[in-house]
């Protein structure tokens, strides 16, 4: 087992607590499933949101789906002109036996196609 960084991102249609909760749950679940990851193997997670997402803390919702003992941090992402709006990103540090499967969902698939080439990232 080696310590790896797993990247993930998704977008929201609107800045509501309910939608943020759903997107965090979806993203965390896909990261765990695609990497066959147990919560105990997660060392830490850093969530970022674009400045147009202010309804809630992503880490609060990650705790609600089982990441309650994972040290997490939330912060805002830089938002240069023309950047992807309403975007939630995460960097998860975890012990895995091999290279991670990065997870980009919804509108965030355009961010890093080089990291997910050939992967099943078809969630709408």
Active site residue 77: yes
Active site residue 119: no
CA angle in degrees (0–180, nearest 5) for 86-90-93 = 180
Active site residue 40: no
Active site residue 104: yes
Task: Considering the candidates 23, 34, 89, 106, report the single residue annotated as catalytic.
Answer: 89
Active site residue 112: yes
Active site residue 95: no
Task: Considering the candidates 7, 23, 34, 106, report the single residue annotated as catalytic.
Answer: 7
Task: Considering the candidates 34, 86, 87, 104, report the single residue annotated as catalytic.
Answer: 104
**What positions carry a catalytic annotation?**
7, 63, 74, 77, 89, 104, 112
């Amino acid at each position: 087992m080696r310590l790896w960084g797993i990247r993930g991102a998704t977008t929201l249609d609107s800045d509501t607590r309910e939608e943020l909760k759903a997107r965090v749950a979806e993203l965390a679940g896909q990261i765990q499933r695609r990497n066959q990851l147990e919560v105990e193997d997660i060392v830490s997670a850093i969530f970022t949101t674009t400045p147009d997402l202010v309804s809630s803390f992503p880490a609060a919702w990650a705790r609600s789906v089982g990441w309650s003992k994972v040290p997490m941090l939330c912060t805002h992402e830089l938002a240069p002109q023309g950047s992807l709006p309403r975007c939630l990103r995460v960097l998860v540090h975890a012990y895995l036996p091999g290279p991670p499967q990065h997870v980009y969902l919804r509108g965030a698939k355009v961010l890093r196609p080089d990291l997910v080439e050939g992967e099943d990232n078809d969630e709408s």
